[in-house]
């Protein structure tokens, strides 16, 4: 059984944090789905991942090889048989995904009140349904676990 990890982006923006988390997921041998609600955000992240310091193999959904992508940026679930899901922009995550996948990461920006409210609602819904969850926040350039629920 997997767990949901909530990442509260208080110091670095999504564009700086996502490549780091993707790198760790790929090192763990996981195929990753980055799920967003807004295609414009995914397009921006796609460009950022190509222009970043290191190469992160990935694709933007809609191509002929979506199912083979090690990292797929998409608005639709389940396209590349991921073992790790990273939710951005308040994209929905189900209890079944938390249960079935190795890891679910929910990234939300401290400066976006709507994103914070969505993340709070996701935390409540998932933990009340019995999912294991951890809440992490950035402090002085490092991640600090602030809360834990369930058997993580």
Instruction: Give SS3 for 71.
Output: strand
Taking the whole predicted model, whether its pTM rises above 0.75 is answered as yes
Domains and CATH numbers, the chain: 4-149 (3.40.50.10110)
> What is the per-residue pLDDT across 76-122, written as a single tens digit (0 to 9) for each?
888 788 999 999 999 999 999 999 999 999 999 998 899 999 999 99
């Amino acid at each position: 059984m997997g767990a949901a990890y909530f990442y509260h982006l208080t110091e670095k923006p999504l564009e700086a944090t996502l490549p780091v988390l993707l790198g760790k997921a790929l090192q763990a041998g996981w195929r990753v789905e980055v799920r967003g609600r807004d295609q414009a955000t995914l397009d921006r992240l796609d460009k950022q991942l190509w222009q970043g310091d290191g190469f992160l193999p990935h694709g933007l959904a809609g191509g002929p090889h979506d199912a083979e992508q090690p990292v797929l940026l998409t608005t639709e679930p389940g396209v590349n048989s991921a073992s790790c899901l990273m939710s951005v922009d308040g994209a929905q995550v189900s209890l079944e995904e938390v249960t079935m996948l190795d890891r679910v990461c929910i990234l939300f920006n401290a400066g976006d009140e709507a994103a914070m409210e969505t993340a709070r609602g996701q935390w409540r819904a998932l933990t009340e349904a019995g999912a294991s969850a951890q809440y992490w926040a950035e402090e002085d350039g490092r991640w600090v676990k602030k809360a834990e629920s369930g058997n993580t």
